[in-house]
Amino acid sequence: MKRVLTILIFASVLMLLAACATPTPVPTIAPPTAAPTQPPAPTQAPAATKPPEATKPPAPTATTAPPTAAPTRAKTRLSIATGGTAGVYYPYGGGLAGLISKYVTNTEAAAEATQASAENMQFILRGRADLAFALADTVYDAYAGQASFKDIGKVPVRALAVLYSNYMHLVATEESGIKTVADLKGKRVSVNTAGSGTEIIANRIMEAAGIDPEKDIQRQRLSIGESVNAMKDKKIDAFWWSGGLPTAGVTDLTSTPGMKVRFIANAEYIQKMSDKYGPFYFKLPMPKGTYPGQDADVDTVGVANLLVVNEKFDASLAYDILKMMLDKKADLGLIHAEGKNFGLPQATVGSPIPFHPGAIQFYADNKITIK
pLDDT per position as a tens digit, 157-188: 999 999 999 999 999 999 999 999 999 999 99
pLDDT at 31 over 50: no
Please, how many CA atoms are within 13 Å of residue 124, restricted to the half-sphere of its CB? 32
Q: What is the tens place of the pLDDT at every residue in 127-136?
A: 999 999 999 9
pLDDT at 151 over 90: yes
Q: What is the tens place of the pLDDT at every residue in 199-225?
A: 999 999 999 999 999 999 999 999 999
pLDDT tier for residue 59 given thresholds of 50, 70 and 90: very low
301, 270 Cβ separation under 8 angstroms: yes
pLDDT tier for residue 71 given thresholds of 50, 70 and 90: low
Q: What is the tens place of the pLDDT at every residue in 349-371?
A: 999 999 999 999 999 999 999 97
pLDDT tier for residue 328 given thresholds of 50, 70 and 90: very high
pLDDT at 8 over 60: no
Which sequence spans correspond to the domains of the chain?
76-365
Average pLDDT over residues 48-68: 36
127, 121 Cβ separation under 8 angstroms: no
306, 351 Cβ separation under 8 angstroms: yes
Q: What is the tens place of the pLDDT at every residue in 286-321?
A: 999 999 999 999 999 999 999 999 999 999 999 999
> Residue 114: what are its φ and ψ, rounded to 5°?
-140, -175
List CB contacts of 234: < 8 A, sequence separation 6 or more. Answer: 173
Given the DSSP bridges, would you call strands 238-243 and 282-286 parallel, antiparallel or unpaired? unpaired
Tell me the β-bridge partners of 314. Answer: none
pLDDT at 13 over 70: no
pLDDT tier for residue 72 given thresholds of 50, 70 and 90: confident
Tell me the β-bridge partners of 307. Answer: 133, 161
Average pLDDT, the chain: 86
Q: What is the tens place of the pLDDT at every residue in 254-276?
A: 999 999 999 999 999 999 999 99
Q: Which segment of 65-74, 193-202, 314-323 scores lowest on mean pLDDT?
A: 65-74
3-state secondary structure the chain: CHHHHHHHHHHHHHHHHHHHHCCCCHHHCCCHHHHHHCCCHHHHCHHHHCCCHHHCCCCCCCCCCCCCCCCCCCCEEEEEECCCCCCCHHHHHHHHHHHHHHHCCCEEEEEECCCCHHHHHHHHHHCCCCEEEEEHHHHHHHHHCCHHHCCCCCCCEEEEEEEEEEEEEEEEEHHHCCCCHHHHCCCEEECCCCCCHHHHHHHHHHHHCCCCCCCCCEEECCCHHHHHHHHHCCCCCEEEEEECCCCHHHHHHHCCCCCCEEECCCHHHHHHHHHHHCCCCEEEEECCCCCCCCCCCEEEEEEEEEEEEECCCCHHHHHHHHHHHHHCHHHHHHHCHHHHHCCCCHHHCCCCCCECHHHHHHHHHCCCCCC
Average pLDDT over residues 99-111: 98
76-365: which CATH topology?
D-Maltodextrin-Binding Protein; domain 2 (3.40.190)
Alpha helix locations (H) across 132-173?
Answer: 136-144
